[in-house]
């Protein structure tokens, strides 16, 4: 019988701290429901003390999720802990996660506190958190650069004070696998009450080692909780990626003494949902969830796989939720087939009205592109604005002129707050012309910091999926748009990003 490895998903907290990845309450709810469907053990829904928006989002997740534990982050102080406790109060299973930095560098330079003060603050915070909730996690921020003797002292004290999980983050992604595994192993051996808590790891990917460090700590160090994010989203280079952790443990069940309870067939739908909501595309060669993760290009590999699948495949694409570019629907597919396929893919449909609008867009797409793949459906549904995010700006029509020797020219009509306006502009290319035309009406003053195009499926009739990242006044947003015409996809993505910028008031800013 395998031991249980707890999967603690922090996509909506640490993941959200990626510039531009902030999520609305509705977006967090969609992700939380999908994480629950995937059978994640603990969902870290946010940092309630960070902003009223984050508080509301955590509260909404706590009201909705029944099967997974809902966790809220709090610095080790009374106000943060009380706010976290209040936010998760409606949850069936709740956890407060409190943290304080323990490395000499952080204690001296960031906190301006002596180690004894840090220890006292940690114990006091865990005690307070335990008054609200039986499930309390304590993290030693910058744990991998902390002194081992001090870690032993503080961890023993917080376990005594009631911490049920202790987490040793590699906050700056500095550790290497053997060293990190040894740290967890040594702590478990030296802390006298170590058997009273679950040991957890939380690794950042600055050196590309987040997954390797986490797995080493599970295998050699005895950690039984891994903190991770979908698609490895997270601060700077990101966190350990959930899909890689889960599939490594499952595929190499011969070496791991533990397993997760994750429904792996939900991995690809979850990855796509997070990517479309945050606007962070998944790189094609990303393990498990990248478009090429199961594509065999070389003749030798293709021949081998056709003769015997296991020659070059260690996992089955369908086991992680890939449907192999199946043509699922076409021009003649009806509303019922459309709805059924969305349900099979785990895509949230929303109200009848939203389904009708999505079906109308599906029919439009099927007219242009006769074969509709699952990937097209994911992109189509991603265009549905969340209820609190009804678009202020909408594309009504566009005409782009591109001719050798002539400057590309864009003409377009936008609806802004329900009123239509037309404009035109030249540019150095058709996309540039279109963006200039939009700006001549909207005057957003935002800076374009990223523009990228990906083909969603194969073939020249594939939809192009465009990501646009805009920055304004320190705020970064990502917009997504998909269409068989990549200029139209670009315009949709730009408008999507502008609409997000307009929603300043209701969007959440997790950074303190
Ligand atoms: O990386 C880190 O140290 C964190 C803690 C708050 C757990 O995210
Ligand atoms: Zn972190």
Q: Kindly give the confidence (pLDDT) of every residue in the chain, 512 residues in length, as a single tens digit, with 9 standing for 90 and above.
A: 899 999 999 999 999 988 778 888 988 999 999 999 999 999 999 999 999 999 999 999 999 999 999 999 999 999 999 999 999 999 999 999 999 999 999 999 999 999 999 999 999 999 999 999 999 999 999 999 999 999 999 999 999 999 999 999 999 999 999 999 999 999 999 999 999 999 999 999 999 999 999 999 999 999 999 999 999 999 899 999 999 999 999 999 999 999 999 999 999 999 989 998 888 889 889 999 998 898 766 677 777 777 777 887 899 999 999 875 555 788 888 888 889 888 877 777 878 888 888 898 899 888 887 788 877 888 788 766 655 556 899 999 999 999 999 999 999 999 999 999 999 999 999 999 999 999 999 999 999 998 988 877 777 888 888 989 899 988 888 888 889 999 999 999 999 999 988 875 334 434 33
Q: What is the CA radius of gyration of the chain?
A: 24
3-class secondary structure, 134: coil
Q: Which two tokens stand for residue 295?
A: 């594509």
Tell how far the Cα of 439 is from the centroid of ligand 2, in angstroms: 37
Q: What is the pLDDT of residue 512?
A: 38
Contact assessment for residue 85 and residue 129, using Cβ atoms and an 8 Å cutoff: yes
Minimum-distance ligand 1 atom for the alpha carbon of 99: 6
Tell how far the Cα of 512 is from the centroid of ligand 1, in angstroms: 14
Q: Is the dihedral of CA 278, 173, 145, 10 positive or negative?
A: positive
Which H or E element spans position 46?
Answer: strand 42-46
The alpha carbon of residue 47 and the mean position of all alpha carbons in its chain are separated, in whole angstroms, by 15
CA distances in angstroms from 129 to 101, 111, 135, 361, 396, listed in the order given? 18, 21, 9, 48, 52
Q: What is the pLDDT of residue 20?
A: 79
Minimum-distance ligand 1 atom for the alpha carbon of 141: 3
Instruction: Choose which residue among 11, 13, 14 to substitute to test ligand 1 binding: the one with the highest number of ligand atoms within 8 A of its C-beta.
Output: 14
Helices (H), 162-308: 177-190, 210-219, 242-251, 267-278, 299-307
- Residue with CA closest to ligand 1 atom 7: 139
Q: Is the dihedral of CA 145, 247, 456, 492 positive or negative?
A: negative
3-class secondary structure, 366: helix
The C-alpha atoms of residue 179 and residue 235 are separated, in whole angstroms, by 23
Residue 393 β-bridge partners? 416
Contact assessment for residue 149 and residue 157, using Cβ atoms and an 8 Å cutoff: no
Model confidence pLDDT, tens digit, residues 147-174: 999 999 999 999 999 999 999 999 999 9
Q: What is the pLDDT of residue 364?
A: 87
- Residue with CA closest to ligand 1 atom 1: 171
Q: Which two tokens stand for residue 46?
A: 């946010």
The C-alpha atoms of residue 243 and residue 255 are separated, in whole angstroms, by 18
140 lines ligand 1 (CB under 6 A): no
Residue 294 β-bridge partners? none
Q: What is the pLDDT of residue 309?
A: 79
3-class secondary structure, 3: strand
Q: Determine how many CB atoms are found less than 10 A away from the CB of residue 120.
A: 15
The C-alpha atoms of residue 58 and residue 49 are separated, in whole angstroms, by 10
Model confidence pLDDT, tens digit, residues 48-97: 999 999 999 999 999 999 999 999 999 999 999 999 999 999 999 999 99
- Residue with CA closest to ligand 1 atom 5: 141
Residue 226 β-bridge partners? 7, 201
Tell how far the Cα of 63 is from the centroid of ligand 1, in angstroms: 25
3-class secondary structure, 468: strand
14 lines ligand 1 (CB under 6 A): yes
Within 8 A by CB and 6+ apart from 200, the residues are 6, 8, 137, 165, 166, 167, 168, 223, 224, 225, 226, 227
Tell how far the Cα of 171 is from the centroid of ligand 1, in angstroms: 6
Q: What is the pLDDT of residue 510?
A: 40
Number of residues that this document lists for the chain: 512
Distance between start and end Cα atoms, the chain:
44
In 3D, which of 380, 386, 479 has the Cα closest to residue 438? 479
């Amino acid at each position: 019988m395998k031991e249980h490895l707890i999967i603690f998903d922090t996509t909506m907290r640490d993941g959200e701290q990626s510039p531009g990845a902030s999520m609305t309450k509705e977006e967090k709810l969609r992700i939380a429901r999908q994480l629950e469907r995937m059978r994640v053990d603990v969902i870290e829904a946010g940092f309630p003390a960070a902003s009223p928006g984050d508080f509301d989002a955590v509260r909404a997740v706590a009201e909705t999720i029944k099967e997974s534990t809902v966790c809220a982050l709090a610095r080790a102080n009374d106000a943060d802990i009380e706010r976290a406790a209040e936010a998760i109060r409606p949850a069936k299973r709740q956890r407060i996660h409190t943290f304080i930095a323990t490395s000499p560098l952080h204690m001296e330079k960031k906190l301006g506190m002596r180690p004894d003060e840090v220890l006292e603050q940690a114990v006091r915070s865990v005690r307070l958190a335990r008054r609200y909730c039986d499930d309390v996690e304590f993290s030693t921020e910058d744990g991998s650069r902390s002194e081992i003797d001090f870690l032993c002292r503080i961890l023993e004290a917080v376990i005594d004070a009631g911490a049920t999980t202790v987490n040793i983050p590699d906050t700056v992604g500095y550790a290497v696998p053997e060293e990190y595994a040894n740290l967890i192993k040594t702590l478990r051996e030296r802390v006298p009450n170590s058997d009273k808590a679950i040991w957890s790891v939380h690794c950042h990917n600055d050196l590309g080692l987040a997954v390797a460090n986490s797995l080493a700590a599970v295998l050699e160090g005895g950690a039984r909780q891994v903190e991770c994010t979908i698609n490895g989203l997270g601060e700077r280079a990101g966190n350990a990626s959930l899909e890689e952790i889960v599939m490594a443990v499952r595929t190499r069940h011969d070496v791991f003494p533990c397993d997760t309870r994750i429904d792996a067939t939900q991995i690809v739908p979850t990855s796509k949902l997070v990517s479309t909501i945050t606007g962070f595309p998944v790189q094609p060669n990303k393990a498990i969830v990248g478009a090429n993760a199961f594509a065999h290009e070389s003749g030798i590999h293709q021949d081998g796989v056709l003769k015997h699948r296991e020659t070059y495949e260690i996992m089955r694409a369908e086991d992680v939720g890939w449907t192999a570019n199946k043509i699922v629907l076409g021009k003649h597919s009806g509303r019922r087939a459309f709805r059924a396929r969305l349900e099979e893919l785990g895509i949230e449909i929303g109200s009848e009205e939203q389904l009708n609008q999505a079906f109308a867009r599906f029919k439009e797409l099927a007219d242009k592109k006769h074969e509709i793949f699952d990937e097209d459906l994911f992109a189509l549904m991603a265009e549905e604005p969340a209820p609190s995010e009804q678009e202020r700006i909408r594309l009504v029509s566009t005409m782009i002129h591109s001719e050798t020797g002539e400057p590309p020219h864009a003409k377009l009509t936008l609806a802004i707050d329900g009123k239509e306006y037309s404009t035109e502009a030249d540019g150095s290319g058709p996309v540039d012309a279109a963006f200039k035309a939009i700006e001549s009406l909207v005057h957003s003053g935002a800076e374009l910091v990223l523009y990228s195009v990906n083909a969603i499926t194969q073939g020249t009739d594939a939809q192009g999926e465009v990501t646009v990242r805009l920055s304004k006044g320190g705020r970064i947003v990502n917009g997504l748009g998909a269409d068989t015409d990549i200029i139209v996809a670009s315009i949709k993505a730009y408008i999507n990003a502008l609409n997000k910028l307009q929603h300043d008031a209701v969007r959440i800013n997790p950074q303190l």
